[in-house]
Amino acid sequence: MIEDRTENHDTAIHHVLRAAFDGDGESQLVDDLRDDGDALVDRIWTDAGRVVGYVMFSRMAAPFRAAALAPVAVDAAFRQKGIADALIRDGIKSLTRAGCQGLFVLGDPGYYQRFGFDVDAAKGFTSPYSGPYFQFLAIETDIRKGRVDYAPAFARL
């Protein structure tokens, strides 16, 4: 049920994102990340051929190979079924195989800690998003401090 996104999926992805985030900001973000060449993982979850879940990980500037998780969204009728969980875990595995050394996310620590993201692990990093929701997952790095920047598209959000 997890597939790589193609252009044929974009309208359905935008629908899922608009519903989940109550507006066009996240849809524009994913389009900009793709246009800028910063999308690293761009995957969907389908149910009977319909896109019901979406995840993207994008390139980050960091003192090691890093990526950011954002956005992740699931159609309201399909929530609480493990779709977001599966999409996130699939993305983490894919990035690990590709040599990514660390991942960042900005979100609810109570949700993202199940994947290994940690607020305390992110405290040594400087970012415009630093704070109680900024989290880090080390994959293959001992680096725990330095400047990290999301792809430029985030600043346009």
| Residue 74 CB partners (closer than 8 Å, separation 6+) | 16, 20, 45, 52, 53, 54, 81, 83, 84
Residue 52 pLDDT greater than 90, yes or no? yes
Q: pTM of the prediction?
A: 0.97
Q: Which fold has domain 2-155?
A: Aminopeptidase (3.40.630)
* Mean pLDDT, range 76-80, rounded to an integer: 97
Entry field: residues in the chain: 157
pLDDT in tens, 108-128: 999 999 999 999 999 999 999
Which pLDDT does position 157 carry in this prediction? 86
Closest Cα to residue 26, out of 74, 62, 65? Answer: 74
How many Cα neighbours within 13 Å face the side chain of 110?
0
Residues 3-33 have pLDDT tens digits of 999 999 999 999 999 999 999 999 999 999 9
Show Cβ contacts of residue 88 under 8 Å, excluding neighbours closer than 6 positions: 55, 69, 72, 115
Instruction: Round to whole Å and give the CA distance between 150 and 153.
Output: 8
